[in-house]
Chains A and B, each alone.
Chain A
Amino acid sequence: MASTTDRVQRLFLENYRPIFSFFLKRGFPREECRDLTQETFSRAMQGLKGFRDEASEATWLFRIARNLWLNKERDQGRQKRRRPEVSIVQVFPEDQEIPDRREVFGGSEELSPQDRLLRREQVTRVRDALAALPPQRRRCLILRLQGLKYREVAVLLGISLQAVRSHLSQARHQMRGLLEDDLGLGHRESEAME
């Protein structure tokens, strides 16, 4: 007979994705889906000893998930009803000047008109160079530039690690001209794309 730990592990592996999808399809943001999925399994673990084989474990898990979902919906409904209306006049009374957006959220340093032009030109050149790459090559490069690991790129695009390496190597080769001539990046720097 399987131990409780084995049973929980199996339940988790078999049902994590469907339970996560269950919450996702009900419009919860990703972070909340993750929390609700964990909460579902946490409740399942607490109740595992009392579980009788009258229903399948999957059915039972979905009942827990469904309860969590309905409770959440009702709580959110309550909060919505309780939330007072706040107008901008209350937040910033008339005698107080409304602050500049950058004072509130922080902002980047103002660029000179020339720098802005140069910047726009660089962005356009990068965009054109990326557009010239075959789709998978382009995706691999952009995902890497956004800090994803090789393995993550492979998983997301459904390709092998070897294919990711090959796409990146070809992207580097293809974009080298742009990086060296237009952006002032040398050969060694262009290798940073990998």
Chain B
Amino acid sequence: VSDKRAALSELVRELGPEIRRKLGPSPSPDEIDAYVNGTLSEEQAENVRDHLTWDTETRETILDLMMFPIIAPPRDEPLVSDEEILRDGETAPRSGDSP
């Protein structure tokens, strides 16, 4: 049974490159993030589902992100925005800076 299953898996694996080409570019980090957070439209989510089915990198990234549920911080404090981080980053730290 496992040989037969391996044969079928192998055939499906061979299909991978062709399907990935048809699917087009992999979802961006923002799209992956939105998929994990459930904020994509159904159409966009379907596209991500197709990609994760055939693309190991997308799939593993999503599994990594889903490993931990989002738990709201106890205090009502927003996370720092990308803009704030970039503004902070104007004075780049020295290598080996401790927190």
A residues whose Cβ falls under 8 Å from a Cβ of B:
10, 12-14, 16-18, 20-22, 24-25, 27, 29-30, 33-34, 43-44, 46-47, 56-60, 62-64, 66-67, 70-71, 74-75, 119, 122-123, 126-127, 130, 135-136, 138-139, 142-143, 145-147, 152, 155-158, 179, 183, 185, 188-189, 191-193
Contact = CB atoms under 8 A, between A and B. Distances in A.
Interface of B: 1-2, 4-5, 7-9, 11-15, 18, 29-30, 32-33, 36, 38, 46, 49-50, 52-54, 57, 59-73, 75, 77, 79-80, 82, 85, 88-89, 92-93, 95-99
B92 A13 contact: no
25 contacts: A10-B71, A12-B68, A13-B69, A14-B71, A21-B29, A21-B33, A24-B61, A30-B61, A33-B64, A43-B99, A47-B99, A56-B77, A58-B73, A59-B80, A62-B79, A123-B11, A126-B11, A126-B15, A142-B54, A156-B62, A158-B38, A183-B11, A185-B7, A189-B5, A192-B1
B16 to A, nearest CB: 9
Contacts of B67: 16
Nearest to B18: A127
Contacts of A143: 53, 59
A188 B56 CA distance: 29
Contact of B97 (A56, A71, A130, A192): A71
